[in-house]
Structure formats: C-alpha cells, structure tokens
C-alpha cells in the first residue's frame, strides 16, 4: 500500500463521510502528563469509524458488482456502516446478524436501509448465511476488517488527525479485527513525522498482543470482555501490516476499561463505547512512557446501549 492509495481513498470517500472533530482536555492532560488529541469518530456518520472503510470498499466495486449489492456478517458497527454506506451510494446491502445482537443494532441496520438476515449466534452460521446470500444474489462479500479497501478507508481517520497536528508522536487505537490499527499504521507511516502507532487490547481477548509476539495469527478461546467491539480476530490482510508497522500493543483490564470510559464521558462530555476507552486507559497505565509526549487517540465509536452501561 502506497501513500497515493491512501490519498486516493480519502478523496473518494470525502463526499460520504464527516471530517470529525479533534477534542482536547486540560484536565485529562494533567491526569496523564501528556498532550492528548482525541479524534472523535463517535461523531462519524452512523456513529463509528467503520463508515469510512465500508464506503471505500463499495466505491471500489465495478458497476456490475454494485448492481448485485453487497453482503457482510456483523453484530455491530460494520453492519450499520455497510447499510448506510450502501444506501448513500445506491447499492443493495444484505446484513447477516446473529439472533443475539441487540434490538437497537438490528433496528439501526433496518433504519439505514440494510436487509437484515438473522442467524444462529456463532461464526460458522454467520459465514454460511453470508455465503448463501452471495451465491443466490451475486452480492459481493465485504469483510469488516480483513479487506484492503476497508483498511485504507479506516486509515483516513488517522490521516485526518495527523493533518490536524503533524507533530503527534504516538497514535493509540483499540484493536479488534485489526482494520483500524492497520489503516492507522499506514497513515502514520505516510503522514506522520516519526509517529508510532500503538494498540490497546483487553486482557480477555489479547490475540493481537500474542500475535505480535509470536509472529503468527493467534486466536482466543474466550471473549469475556465488556469491549464488545473488540471480540474479533486479526486476518491475513491486516496482520502483515500490523506486524511491520505497529510498535506494540498494551493490554488493559476490564476495570481499567470502565474507569477510562467514565473519564471520557465526564471530562470530554462525549459518549463513547467501552471499546473506545482502551487507548486512554493505556496512557493512564503507562504515564512515564507518554509523559510530555503529544499523543493522538482515535475514539472509534459512540454506539452504546444506554440501558446497559457499566456505570
């Protein structure tokens, strides 16, 4: 992937996305000893960074493929992102969701124009349902994180952050399926000045941390974390980028996730998901590493169930 790939991607999706605001907080800077810039993609269309990658992936399809629509399987933000992106571009979207997904997310998918197909709540059932739709309709399957066009789209959030302030020394992002951190690493490489990208991941699903250590894709036996957006695995498209370009991954406890989420709600006065609070938790946990540094944090989404908050 080249610098031009990222620039072309950004220009392509600009009419369909928001250039989201960057917020700062003197109180949080004092708490951490760092100068932190929060890139707020919780203010993105449909409430998460995934609108960027979904839009780019659809726009890169041929006219023939666009006619047949797109399909994905997702329990959360990518389901909503692909639905809205497809509607914006005039493409049919088939969304496979596990029956266990929250009604709020199912309603959002339908509201954004996606055709919802429910399945048993396991990966095998999700993949089978998506494959059946692709075969019967000719729809193109788009993966939420393990797709180069999706990765490039996700990288535009970090690109915008570095265009806002090109002196940022570290960018911290949450790690789930690996699309955001891979895209951010490419953006930091091409648009930063000696800027390093660091991931933040729950101890309960630390496959990316272990993968970076072992040099191969590791898996999780359980996924018992409040950070529901980070329960997915790395893929063969994003892991080589992560392996080459990401400096390290910091693991966060469930208590640290909740405490950091509370700080963001209280101090920044914005809504963020549990998954988004990990980067700040990583800075709070490693104050000496980031002391007097300029740190970028990507707030990746704000789609929360207000009836199920951890505080």
First-residue to last-residue Cα distance in the chain? 42
DSSP bridge pairs for 297: 38, 172
Q: Mapping DSSP to helix (H, G, I), strand (E, B) and coil, where does residue 83 land? A: helix
Burial 266-288 (b: 16+ CB within 10 A, else e): eebebbbbbbbbbbbbbbbbeee
Distance between CA atoms of residues 188 and 168, nearest Å: 9
Q: Phi and psi for 296 in degrees, rounded to 5?
A: -100, 135
Strands 93-98, 170-174: pairing kind: unpaired
For the chain, give the percent of residues with pLDDT over 90.
88
Distance between CA atoms of residues 30 and 48, nearest Å: 28
Distance between CA atoms of residues 145 and 179, nearest Å: 4
Distance between CA atoms of residues 309 and 304, nearest Å: 8
CA 27 to centroid of chain Cα atoms: 26
How buried is residue 107: exposed, middle or buried, by Cβ count under 10 Å (0-12/13-18/19+)?
exposed
Digit-coded pLDDT (tens) for 236-268: 999 999 999 999 999 999 999 999 999 999 999
Please report the domains of the chain, with CATH numbers, ordered by start residue.
3-48+147-299 (3.40.50.1100), 51-141 (3.40.50.1100)
Return the closest-CA partner of residue 282 out of 310, 251, 308, 259: 251
Digit-coded pLDDT (tens) for 70-83: 999 997 899 999 99
Q: Phi and psi for 308 in degrees, rounded to 5?
A: -140, 50
Listed in sequence order, the DSSP H helices in 93-202 are: 103-111, 123-137, 148-164, 179-191
pTM of the model: 0.96
Per-residue pLDDT of the chain (311 residues; tens, 9 = 90+): 899 999 999 999 999 999 999 999 999 999 999 999 999 999 999 999 999 999 999 999 999 999 999 999 997 899 999 999 999 999 999 999 989 887 888 999 999 999 999 999 888 899 999 999 999 999 999 999 999 999 999 999 999 999 999 999 999 999 999 999 999 999 999 999 999 999 999 999 999 999 999 999 999 988 889 998 888 889 999 999 999 999 999 999 999 999 999 999 999 999 999 999 999 999 999 999 999 999 999 999 999 888 889 98
Return the closest-CA partner of residue 300 out of 5, 13, 23, 39: 39
- Sole residue written with tokens 């959002």: 108
């Amino acid at each position: 992937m080249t610098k031009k790939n990222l620039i072309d991607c950004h220009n392509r999706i600009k009419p369909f996305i928001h250039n989201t605001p960057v917020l700062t907080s003197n109180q949080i800077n004092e708490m951490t000893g760092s100068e932190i810039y929060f890139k707020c993609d919780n203010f993105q269309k449909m409430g998460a960074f995934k609108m960027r990658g979904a839009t780019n992936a659809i726009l890169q399809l041929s006219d023939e493929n666009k006619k047949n629509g797109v399909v994905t399987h997702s329990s959360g933000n990518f389901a909503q992102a692909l639905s809205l992106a497809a509607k914006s571009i005039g493409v049919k979207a088939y969304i496979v969701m596990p029956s266990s997904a929250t009604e709020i997310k199912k309603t959002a998918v339908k509201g954004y124009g996606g055709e919802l197909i429910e399945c048993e709540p396991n990966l095998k059932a999700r993949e089978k349902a998506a494959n059946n739709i692709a075969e019967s309709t000719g729809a193109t399957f788009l993966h939420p994180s393990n797709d180069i066009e999706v990765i490039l789209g996700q990288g535009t959030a970090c690109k915008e952050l570095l265009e806002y302030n090109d002196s940022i020394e570290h960018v911290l992002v949450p790690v789930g399926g690996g699309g955001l951190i891979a895209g951010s690493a490419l953006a930091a490489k091409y648009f930063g000045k000696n800027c390093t990208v660091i991931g933040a991941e729950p101890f309960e699903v630390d496959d990316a941390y272990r993968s970076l250590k072992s040099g191969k894709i590791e898996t999780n036996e359980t996924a018992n974390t409040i950070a529901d957006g980070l329960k997915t695995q790395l893929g063969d498209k994003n892991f080589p980028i992560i392996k080459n370009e990401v400096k390290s991954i910091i693991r966060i406890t469930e208590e640290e996730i909740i405490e950091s989420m509370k700080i963001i709600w209280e101090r920044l006065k914005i809504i963020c998901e549990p998954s988004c609070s990990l980067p700040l938790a990583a800075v709070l946990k490693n104050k000496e590493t980031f002391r007097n540094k300029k740190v970028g944090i990507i707030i990746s989404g704000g789609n929360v169930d207000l009836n199920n908050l951890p505080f």
